[in-house]
Amino acid sequence: MALLTQAPKGTQDVLPRDSYKWQYVEGLAMEIARLYGFQEMRVPTFEHTELFNRSVGDTTDVVQKEMYTFLDKGNRSITLRPEGTAGMARAAVQNGLLNEALPLKVSYLVSCFRYEKPQAGRLREFHQFGAEVYGSDSPACDAEVIAMVGEIFDTLGVRDLRLELNSIGCPECRARYHKALKEYFAAHMDELCDTCRERLEKNPMRILDCKSPVCHKIAKDAPKVLDYICEGCSAHFEGVKARLDALGMPYVVNPTIVRGLDYYTKTVFEFVTDQIGAQGTVCGGGRYDGLLAEIGGPKLPGIGFAMGIERLLKVMDACGAEFPEQPACAIYIGSIGEAASVKAFALVNELREEGFWAECDTMGRGVKAQMKYADKLGCRLSCILGDNELESGRANVKNMRTGETHEVAFDDLIDFVYDAQVAVLTESIRETEINP
Ligand code: ATP
Ligand code: MG
Protein backbone atom coordinates (compact mmCIF):
# COMPACT_ATOMS: atom_id res chain seq x y z
CA MET A 1 0.00 0.00 0.00
CA ALA A 2 1.19 3.49 -0.79
CA LEU A 3 2.49 5.45 2.17
CA LEU A 4 0.21 8.40 2.80
CA THR A 5 3.14 10.67 3.56
CA GLN A 6 5.13 9.64 0.50
CA ALA A 7 4.62 11.49 -2.80
CA PRO A 8 4.26 9.34 -5.94
CA LYS A 9 7.51 8.26 -7.57
CA GLY A 10 9.00 10.82 -9.92
CA THR A 11 7.30 13.84 -8.34
CA GLN A 12 8.90 16.63 -6.35
CA ASP A 13 7.77 19.15 -3.77
CA VAL A 14 8.96 22.74 -4.02
CA LEU A 15 9.55 23.73 -0.41
CA PRO A 16 9.09 27.22 1.06
CA ARG A 17 12.86 27.64 1.33
CA ASP A 18 13.25 27.11 -2.43
CA SER A 19 10.09 28.58 -3.93
CA TYR A 20 11.60 32.07 -4.24
CA LYS A 21 14.08 30.61 -6.74
CA TRP A 22 11.22 29.29 -8.87
CA GLN A 23 9.43 32.64 -8.66
CA TYR A 24 12.60 34.46 -9.71
CA VAL A 25 13.36 32.20 -12.67
CA GLU A 26 9.77 32.02 -13.89
CA GLY A 27 9.17 35.75 -13.44
CA LEU A 28 12.35 36.69 -15.27
CA ALA A 29 11.69 34.30 -18.17
CA MET A 30 8.15 35.66 -18.58
CA GLU A 31 9.40 39.24 -18.40
CA ILE A 32 12.06 38.76 -21.06
CA ALA A 33 9.51 36.97 -23.23
CA ARG A 34 7.29 40.05 -22.90
CA LEU A 35 10.10 42.21 -24.31
CA TYR A 36 10.13 39.90 -27.31
CA GLY A 37 6.39 40.32 -27.74
CA PHE A 38 5.10 37.15 -26.09
CA GLN A 39 1.96 37.15 -23.97
CA GLU A 40 1.07 34.40 -21.55
CA MET A 41 -1.55 31.83 -22.46
CA ARG A 42 -2.95 29.28 -19.98
CA VAL A 43 -4.50 26.03 -21.11
CA PRO A 44 -5.96 22.97 -19.38
CA THR A 45 -3.71 20.38 -17.73
CA PHE A 46 -5.44 17.62 -19.70
CA GLU A 47 -6.60 17.32 -23.28
CA HIS A 48 -8.23 14.70 -25.45
CA THR A 49 -5.69 11.91 -25.98
CA GLU A 50 -6.13 12.18 -29.73
CA LEU A 51 -4.59 15.68 -29.73
CA PHE A 52 -1.24 14.31 -28.55
CA ASN A 53 -1.42 11.22 -30.76
CA ARG A 54 -1.83 13.48 -33.77
CA SER A 55 0.63 16.23 -32.90
CA VAL A 56 3.39 14.60 -30.86
CA GLY A 57 3.05 11.54 -33.10
CA ASP A 58 1.93 8.01 -32.33
CA THR A 59 5.30 6.42 -33.08
CA THR A 60 7.16 8.59 -30.55
CA ASP A 61 8.34 7.39 -27.13
CA VAL A 62 6.21 10.06 -25.53
CA VAL A 63 2.97 8.71 -27.01
CA GLN A 64 3.86 5.03 -27.02
CA LYS A 65 5.31 4.74 -23.54
CA GLU A 66 5.10 7.89 -21.48
CA MET A 67 1.59 9.32 -21.46
CA TYR A 68 -0.74 9.39 -18.46
CA THR A 69 -3.90 8.35 -20.26
CA PHE A 70 -7.21 7.35 -18.69
CA LEU A 71 -10.92 7.11 -19.42
CA ASP A 72 -12.94 9.68 -17.53
CA LYS A 73 -16.35 8.86 -16.07
CA GLY A 74 -17.92 9.83 -19.40
CA ASN A 75 -15.74 7.28 -21.18
CA ARG A 76 -13.60 9.90 -22.96
CA SER A 77 -9.94 9.18 -23.38
CA ILE A 78 -8.07 11.94 -21.57
CA THR A 79 -4.32 12.54 -21.26
CA LEU A 80 -2.38 14.68 -18.82
CA ARG A 81 -0.27 16.91 -21.08
CA PRO A 82 3.21 15.50 -21.72
CA GLU A 83 4.27 18.83 -23.26
CA GLY A 84 2.87 22.30 -23.88
CA THR A 85 2.91 22.84 -27.64
CA ALA A 86 -0.11 20.71 -28.57
CA GLY A 87 -2.47 22.38 -26.09
CA MET A 88 -1.25 25.86 -27.06
CA ALA A 89 -1.87 25.09 -30.75
CA ARG A 90 -5.30 23.68 -29.95
CA ALA A 91 -6.22 26.78 -27.94
CA ALA A 92 -4.96 29.16 -30.65
CA VAL A 93 -7.09 27.38 -33.27
CA GLN A 94 -10.19 26.94 -31.12
CA ASN A 95 -10.26 30.58 -30.01
CA GLY A 96 -9.70 32.00 -33.48
CA LEU A 97 -6.45 33.69 -32.44
CA LEU A 98 -4.89 32.83 -35.78
CA ASN A 99 -7.42 35.06 -37.59
CA GLU A 100 -6.01 38.06 -35.73
CA ALA A 101 -2.68 39.85 -36.19
CA LEU A 102 0.18 37.52 -37.17
CA PRO A 103 2.68 36.53 -36.02
CA LEU A 104 0.92 35.49 -32.84
CA LYS A 105 3.35 35.01 -29.95
CA VAL A 106 2.41 33.19 -26.75
CA SER A 107 4.39 32.08 -23.72
CA TYR A 108 3.52 29.60 -21.00
CA LEU A 109 4.47 27.99 -17.71
CA VAL A 110 3.07 24.48 -17.38
CA SER A 111 3.48 21.25 -15.48
CA CYS A 112 4.00 18.21 -17.74
CA PHE A 113 3.50 14.53 -17.08
CA ARG A 114 5.47 11.66 -18.55
CA TYR A 115 5.62 8.11 -17.27
CA GLU A 116 9.41 7.77 -17.49
CA LYS A 117 11.99 5.98 -15.41
CA PRO A 118 12.67 8.54 -12.67
CA GLN A 119 16.34 9.52 -12.35
CA ALA A 120 18.40 12.66 -11.89
CA GLY A 121 16.87 15.31 -14.16
CA ARG A 122 14.05 13.03 -15.26
CA LEU A 123 10.77 13.28 -13.39
CA ARG A 124 7.20 12.12 -13.97
CA GLU A 125 5.83 15.54 -13.23
CA PHE A 126 8.08 18.36 -14.32
CA HIS A 127 7.68 22.01 -15.31
CA GLN A 128 8.34 23.89 -18.49
CA PHE A 129 8.62 27.48 -19.52
CA GLY A 130 7.97 27.72 -23.23
CA ALA A 131 6.90 29.97 -26.07
CA GLU A 132 5.32 29.59 -29.50
CA VAL A 133 5.13 31.78 -32.59
CA TYR A 134 2.44 31.15 -35.19
CA GLY A 135 2.22 32.51 -38.72
CA SER A 136 5.80 33.13 -39.88
CA ASP A 137 8.03 30.81 -41.87
CA SER A 138 10.88 33.33 -42.08
CA PRO A 139 14.28 32.28 -40.69
CA ALA A 140 14.21 35.63 -38.84
CA CYS A 141 11.54 34.13 -36.63
CA ASP A 142 13.66 31.07 -35.80
CA ALA A 143 16.61 33.30 -34.95
CA GLU A 144 14.43 35.57 -32.82
CA VAL A 145 13.16 32.67 -30.74
CA ILE A 146 16.64 31.21 -30.30
CA ALA A 147 18.05 34.63 -29.38
CA MET A 148 15.36 35.04 -26.76
CA VAL A 149 16.26 31.73 -25.12
CA GLY A 150 19.91 32.81 -25.17
CA GLU A 151 18.96 36.11 -23.53
CA ILE A 152 17.05 34.32 -20.77
CA PHE A 153 20.02 32.06 -19.98
CA ASP A 154 22.43 35.02 -20.08
CA THR A 155 20.31 37.12 -17.75
CA LEU A 156 19.99 34.23 -15.32
CA GLY A 157 23.77 33.85 -15.33
CA VAL A 158 23.79 30.35 -16.83
CA ARG A 159 27.21 29.66 -18.30
CA ASP A 160 28.69 26.91 -20.46
CA LEU A 161 25.52 26.09 -22.34
CA ARG A 162 26.01 24.92 -25.88
CA LEU A 163 23.48 25.80 -28.57
CA GLU A 164 23.17 22.86 -30.95
CA LEU A 165 21.38 23.39 -34.21
CA ASN A 166 20.11 21.23 -37.04
CA SER A 167 17.58 21.22 -39.85
CA ILE A 168 15.40 18.19 -40.45
CA GLY A 169 13.82 19.60 -43.62
CA CYS A 170 10.27 19.65 -44.96
CA PRO A 171 8.04 16.61 -45.72
CA GLU A 172 9.64 16.23 -49.18
CA CYS A 173 13.16 16.13 -47.71
CA ARG A 174 11.81 13.77 -45.06
CA ALA A 175 10.57 11.27 -47.66
CA ARG A 176 14.02 11.10 -49.29
CA TYR A 177 15.73 10.86 -45.91
CA HIS A 178 13.35 8.16 -44.64
CA LYS A 179 14.22 6.07 -47.69
CA ALA A 180 17.96 6.33 -46.97
CA LEU A 181 17.40 5.54 -43.29
CA LYS A 182 15.26 2.51 -44.08
CA GLU A 183 17.98 1.13 -46.32
CA TYR A 184 20.62 1.74 -43.67
CA PHE A 185 18.69 0.30 -40.72
CA ALA A 186 17.30 -2.65 -42.68
CA ALA A 187 20.86 -3.98 -42.80
CA HIS A 188 20.89 -3.90 -38.95
CA MET A 189 17.35 -5.24 -38.52
CA ASP A 190 18.33 -8.10 -36.19
CA GLU A 191 20.19 -5.86 -33.76
CA LEU A 192 17.48 -3.20 -33.32
CA CYS A 193 15.19 -3.22 -30.26
CA ASP A 194 11.60 -4.41 -30.77
CA THR A 195 10.18 -0.89 -30.76
CA CYS A 196 12.65 0.30 -33.37
CA ARG A 197 11.99 -2.69 -35.58
CA GLU A 198 8.37 -1.56 -35.66
CA ARG A 199 9.43 2.03 -36.30
CA LEU A 200 11.53 1.04 -39.30
CA GLU A 201 8.54 1.01 -41.65
CA LYS A 202 6.45 3.81 -40.19
CA ASN A 203 8.96 6.34 -38.89
CA PRO A 204 12.64 5.37 -39.19
CA MET A 205 13.79 8.78 -37.92
CA ARG A 206 12.52 7.82 -34.47
CA ILE A 207 15.25 5.18 -34.30
CA LEU A 208 17.77 8.02 -34.15
CA ASP A 209 16.17 9.13 -30.90
CA CYS A 210 16.00 5.67 -29.28
CA LYS A 211 17.51 5.43 -25.81
CA SER A 212 18.59 1.75 -26.10
CA PRO A 213 22.41 1.65 -26.20
CA VAL A 214 22.50 -0.80 -29.12
CA CYS A 215 20.17 1.26 -31.33
CA HIS A 216 22.03 4.37 -30.27
CA LYS A 217 25.32 2.87 -31.43
CA ILE A 218 23.91 1.76 -34.78
CA ALA A 219 22.33 5.19 -35.27
CA LYS A 220 25.72 6.87 -34.96
CA ASP A 221 26.72 5.89 -38.50
CA ALA A 222 23.28 6.42 -40.06
CA PRO A 223 22.88 8.85 -42.99
CA LYS A 224 22.77 12.50 -41.86
CA VAL A 225 19.63 14.51 -42.54
CA LEU A 226 21.53 17.63 -43.66
CA ASP A 227 22.73 15.67 -46.69
CA TYR A 228 19.12 15.12 -47.76
CA ILE A 229 17.42 18.49 -47.34
CA CYS A 230 16.20 20.41 -50.39
CA GLU A 231 17.48 23.77 -51.61
CA GLY A 232 14.65 25.70 -49.98
CA CYS A 233 15.23 24.11 -46.57
CA SER A 234 18.95 24.54 -46.94
CA ALA A 235 18.56 28.26 -47.72
CA HIS A 236 16.24 28.59 -44.73
CA PHE A 237 18.85 26.99 -42.47
CA GLU A 238 21.53 29.34 -43.85
CA GLY A 239 19.21 32.25 -43.08
CA VAL A 240 18.88 31.18 -39.46
CA LYS A 241 22.64 30.74 -39.08
CA ALA A 242 23.39 34.11 -40.73
CA ARG A 243 21.19 35.86 -38.17
CA LEU A 244 22.74 34.07 -35.22
CA ASP A 245 26.16 35.00 -36.64
CA ALA A 246 25.01 38.61 -36.89
CA LEU A 247 24.19 38.53 -33.15
CA GLY A 248 27.54 36.93 -32.39
CA MET A 249 25.66 34.03 -30.88
CA PRO A 250 27.80 30.87 -30.88
CA TYR A 251 26.27 27.54 -31.97
CA VAL A 252 27.35 24.17 -33.28
CA VAL A 253 25.58 22.34 -36.06
CA ASN A 254 24.78 18.88 -34.74
CA PRO A 255 23.37 16.75 -37.57
CA THR A 256 22.20 14.04 -35.14
CA ILE A 257 19.55 16.16 -33.40
CA VAL A 258 16.11 15.06 -34.57
CA ARG A 259 14.06 15.79 -31.41
CA GLY A 260 11.68 13.31 -29.84
CA LEU A 261 8.39 14.73 -31.13
CA ASP A 262 7.04 14.21 -34.62
CA TYR A 263 5.74 17.68 -35.37
CA TYR A 264 9.12 19.28 -36.07
CA THR A 265 10.20 20.50 -39.52
CA LYS A 266 13.28 22.44 -40.68
CA THR A 267 15.08 24.10 -37.73
CA VAL A 268 15.53 22.09 -34.54
CA PHE A 269 17.72 23.15 -31.63
CA GLU A 270 18.78 22.26 -28.12
CA PHE A 271 20.64 24.07 -25.37
CA VAL A 272 22.88 21.50 -23.75
CA THR A 273 25.13 21.45 -20.69
CA ASP A 274 27.70 18.94 -19.45
CA GLN A 275 27.33 20.13 -15.86
CA ILE A 276 24.29 18.20 -14.64
CA GLY A 277 24.92 14.63 -15.77
CA ALA A 278 23.26 12.57 -18.46
CA GLN A 279 20.07 14.65 -18.73
CA GLY A 280 21.89 17.70 -20.05
CA THR A 281 19.31 19.12 -22.44
CA VAL A 282 17.89 22.14 -20.66
CA CYS A 283 15.89 23.51 -23.56
CA GLY A 284 14.62 22.03 -26.80
CA GLY A 285 12.67 23.49 -29.65
CA GLY A 286 12.12 23.85 -33.32
CA ARG A 287 9.85 24.71 -36.20
CA TYR A 288 6.60 22.83 -36.81
CA ASP A 289 5.13 24.01 -40.09
CA GLY A 290 2.60 21.18 -40.38
CA LEU A 291 1.25 21.03 -36.84
CA LEU A 292 -1.61 23.54 -36.97
CA ALA A 293 -3.08 21.96 -40.13
CA GLU A 294 -2.53 18.48 -38.68
CA ILE A 295 -4.85 19.20 -35.76
CA GLY A 296 -7.49 20.76 -38.02
CA GLY A 297 -6.36 24.39 -37.91
CA PRO A 298 -5.26 26.72 -40.70
CA LYS A 299 -2.26 25.94 -42.86
CA LEU A 300 0.11 28.18 -40.94
CA PRO A 301 3.71 27.62 -39.87
CA GLY A 302 4.91 27.76 -36.28
CA ILE A 303 7.96 27.51 -34.09
CA GLY A 304 8.51 27.10 -30.38
CA PHE A 305 10.66 25.83 -27.56
CA ALA A 306 10.38 24.58 -24.00
CA MET A 307 12.87 24.60 -21.17
CA GLY A 308 12.67 22.35 -18.16
CA ILE A 309 12.58 24.44 -14.99
CA GLU A 310 14.01 21.66 -12.78
CA ARG A 311 16.99 21.22 -15.09
CA LEU A 312 17.40 24.98 -15.40
CA LEU A 313 17.59 25.37 -11.62
CA LYS A 314 20.07 22.49 -11.47
CA VAL A 315 22.39 24.03 -14.03
CA MET A 316 22.14 27.40 -12.27
CA ASP A 317 23.29 25.76 -9.05
CA ALA A 318 26.01 23.84 -10.87
CA CYS A 319 27.51 26.91 -12.51
CA GLY A 320 27.16 29.16 -9.48
CA ALA A 321 24.57 31.50 -10.99
CA GLU A 322 23.31 34.02 -8.47
CA PHE A 323 19.81 34.20 -7.10
CA PRO A 324 18.37 37.26 -5.42
CA GLU A 325 18.61 37.15 -1.66
CA GLN A 326 15.91 35.04 -0.03
CA PRO A 327 13.24 37.41 1.28
CA ALA A 328 13.58 38.01 5.01
CA CYS A 329 11.17 39.32 7.61
CA ALA A 330 11.86 43.04 8.14
CA ILE A 331 10.73 43.30 11.75
CA TYR A 332 9.32 41.19 14.55
CA ILE A 333 7.26 43.08 17.10
CA GLY A 334 7.16 41.07 20.29
CA SER A 335 4.84 41.82 23.18
CA ILE A 336 4.22 41.22 26.86
CA GLY A 337 0.59 41.25 27.95
CA GLU A 338 -2.72 41.63 26.14
CA ALA A 339 -2.66 45.43 25.58
CA ALA A 340 0.85 45.28 24.08
CA SER A 341 -0.17 42.31 21.94
CA VAL A 342 -3.04 44.35 20.47
CA LYS A 343 -0.69 47.28 19.76
CA ALA A 344 1.88 44.98 18.14
CA PHE A 345 -0.87 43.53 15.96
CA ALA A 346 -1.92 47.03 14.83
CA LEU A 347 1.66 48.15 14.12
CA VAL A 348 2.40 45.00 12.12
CA ASN A 349 -0.69 45.62 10.08
CA GLU A 350 0.44 49.19 9.31
CA LEU A 351 3.87 47.95 8.25
CA ARG A 352 2.34 45.35 5.97
CA GLU A 353 0.21 48.01 4.34
CA GLU A 354 3.46 49.84 3.58
CA GLY A 355 4.83 46.71 1.92
CA PHE A 356 7.05 45.31 4.67
CA TRP A 357 7.13 41.73 5.87
CA ALA A 358 6.38 42.20 9.56
CA GLU A 359 5.45 39.65 12.21
CA CYS A 360 4.04 39.53 15.71
CA ASP A 361 3.08 36.70 18.03
CA THR A 362 0.06 34.63 16.98
CA MET A 363 0.85 31.64 19.18
CA GLY A 364 0.29 33.16 22.62
CA ARG A 365 3.96 32.58 23.47
CA GLY A 366 6.03 34.15 26.19
CA VAL A 367 8.47 36.85 25.15
CA LYS A 368 11.52 34.58 25.24
CA ALA A 369 9.94 32.07 22.88
CA GLN A 370 8.78 34.95 20.66
CA MET A 371 12.36 36.18 20.28
CA LYS A 372 13.62 32.68 19.57
CA TYR A 373 11.11 32.46 16.74
CA ALA A 374 12.16 35.90 15.42
CA ASP A 375 15.73 34.66 15.39
CA LYS A 376 14.87 31.46 13.53
CA LEU A 377 12.91 33.46 10.98
CA GLY A 378 15.99 35.60 10.34
CA CYS A 379 14.17 38.87 11.06
CA ARG A 380 16.29 41.95 10.40
CA LEU A 381 14.88 44.01 13.27
CA SER A 382 12.96 43.27 16.44
CA CYS A 383 11.44 45.05 19.40
CA ILE A 384 9.40 44.13 22.44
CA LEU A 385 6.35 46.07 23.59
CA GLY A 386 5.37 46.12 27.26
CA ASP A 387 3.61 48.55 29.60
CA ASN A 388 6.52 51.05 29.52
CA GLU A 389 6.59 51.15 25.72
CA LEU A 390 2.83 51.59 25.52
CA GLU A 391 3.07 54.50 27.92
CA SER A 392 5.98 56.28 26.25
CA GLY A 393 4.90 55.43 22.69
CA ARG A 394 8.46 54.41 21.92
CA ALA A 395 10.24 51.08 21.48
CA ASN A 396 13.83 49.90 21.50
CA VAL A 397 14.39 48.48 18.03
CA LYS A 398 17.25 46.03 17.75
CA ASN A 399 19.18 45.27 14.58
CA MET A 400 19.33 41.48 14.78
CA ARG A 401 22.56 41.30 12.76
CA THR A 402 24.65 43.95 14.49
CA GLY A 403 22.98 43.98 17.89
CA GLU A 404 22.69 47.81 17.69
CA THR A 405 19.57 49.33 19.29
CA HIS A 406 17.69 52.56 18.62
CA GLU A 407 14.82 54.13 20.49
CA VAL A 408 12.09 54.77 17.95
CA ALA A 409 8.69 56.42 18.39
CA PHE A 410 5.79 54.25 17.14
CA ASP A 411 4.92 57.01 14.68
CA ASP A 412 8.43 56.82 13.18
CA LEU A 413 8.56 53.05 12.98
CA ILE A 414 7.71 52.80 9.28
CA ASP A 415 10.41 55.35 8.37
CA PHE A 416 12.91 53.57 10.57
CA VAL A 417 12.23 50.16 9.01
CA TYR A 418 12.42 51.75 5.60
CA ASP A 419 15.81 53.34 6.38
CA ALA A 420 17.12 50.11 7.88
CA GLN A 421 16.20 48.25 4.70
CA VAL A 422 17.96 50.87 2.60
CA ALA A 423 21.01 50.60 4.84
CA VAL A 424 21.15 46.85 4.32
CA LEU A 425 20.93 47.44 0.59
CA THR A 426 23.72 50.04 0.54
CA GLU A 427 25.88 47.76 2.64
CA SER A 428 25.64 44.98 0.06
CA ILE A 429 26.23 47.44 -2.79
CA ARG A 430 29.28 48.78 -0.95
CA GLU A 431 30.51 45.22 -0.49
CA THR A 432 30.24 44.43 -4.19
CA GLU A 433 32.04 47.66 -5.04
CA ILE A 434 34.91 46.84 -2.73
CA ASN A 435 35.11 43.15 -3.69
CA PRO A 436 33.79 42.93 -7.21
P1 ATP B 1 15.11 14.17 -23.11
O2 ATP B 1 15.96 13.99 -24.32
O3 ATP B 1 15.88 14.57 -21.89
O4 ATP B 1 14.18 13.03 -22.89
P5 ATP B 1 12.99 15.49 -24.47
O6 ATP B 1 13.49 15.62 -25.85
O7 ATP B 1 12.05 14.38 -24.17
O8 ATP B 1 14.21 15.44 -23.42
P9 ATP B 1 11.37 17.83 -24.71
O10 ATP B 1 10.13 17.09 -25.02
O11 ATP B 1 12.05 18.55 -25.78
O12 ATP B 1 12.39 16.85 -23.97
O13 ATP B 1 11.08 18.82 -23.49
C14 ATP B 1 11.77 20.06 -23.35
C15 ATP B 1 12.52 20.14 -22.05
O16 ATP B 1 11.73 19.69 -20.97
C17 ATP B 1 13.74 19.26 -21.98
O18 ATP B 1 14.83 19.87 -22.61
C19 ATP B 1 13.95 19.14 -20.49
O20 ATP B 1 14.61 20.28 -19.96
C21 ATP B 1 12.55 19.09 -19.98
N22 ATP B 1 12.13 17.69 -19.74
C23 ATP B 1 11.65 16.80 -20.62
N24 ATP B 1 11.34 15.64 -20.03
C25 ATP B 1 11.62 15.80 -18.72
C26 ATP B 1 11.48 14.97 -17.56
N27 ATP B 1 10.98 13.75 -17.63
N28 ATP B 1 11.87 15.48 -16.37
C29 ATP B 1 12.37 16.74 -16.25
N30 ATP B 1 12.50 17.57 -17.29
C31 ATP B 1 12.13 17.12 -18.52
MG1 MG C 1 12.25 12.48 -23.29
Binding site for L-histidine, by residue number, is 83-85, 114, 128, 132, 259, 263-264
Q: Is the pLDDT of residue 36 over 50?
A: yes
State which ligand 1 atom lies nearest to the alpha carbon of 259. Answer: 6
Query: What CATH number labels 14-170+229-319?
Result: 3.30.930.10
Give residues with Cβ within 8 angstroms of 222, minimum separation 6: 181, 184, 185, 207, 208
Q: Is the pLDDT of residue 430 over 70?
A: no
Q: What residue's CA is closest to ligand 1, atom 9?
A: 284
Q: Is the pLDDT of residue 436 over 50?
A: no
Q: Is the pLDDT of residue 57 over 90?
A: yes
Q: What residue's CA is closest to ligand 1, atom 23?
A: 308
Interval 205-246: pLDDT, tens: 989 988 889 999 999 999 999 999 999 999 999 999 999 999
* 331-419 topology per CATH: Rossmann fold (3.40.50)
What pLDDT is recorded for position 153? 98
Domain ranges across the chain: 14-170+229-319, 331-419
Q: Is the pLDDT of residue 79 over 90?
A: yes
Ligand 1: residue of 126, 132, 216 to mutate (most ligand atoms within 8 A of CB) is 126
Q: What residue's CA is closest to ligand 1, atom 12?
A: 284
pLDDT band at 406 (very low <50, low <70, confident <90, very high): very high
**Comparing 24 with 327, which gets the higher pLDDT?**
24
Ligand 1: residue of 258, 303, 311 to mutate (most ligand atoms within 8 A of CB) is 311
Q: What residue's CA is closest to ligand 1, atom 16?
A: 308
Q: Is the pLDDT of residue 429 over 70?
A: no
Q: Within 6 Å (CB) of ligand 1, which residues are found?
A: 83, 114, 116, 121-123, 126, 128, 260-261, 279, 281-284, 306-308, 310-311
pLDDT band at 183 (very low <50, low <70, confident <90, very high): very high
State which ligand 1 atom lies nearest to the alpha carbon of 282. Answer: 20
Q: What residue's CA is closest to ligand 1, atom 22?
A: 308
Ligand 1: residue of 9, 52, 83, 279 to mutate (most ligand atoms within 8 A of CB) is 279
What pLDDT is recorded for position 435? 39
What pLDDT is recorded for position 258? 87
Q: Is the pLDDT of residue 363 over 50?
A: yes
Share of the chain above pLDDT 70, in %: 97
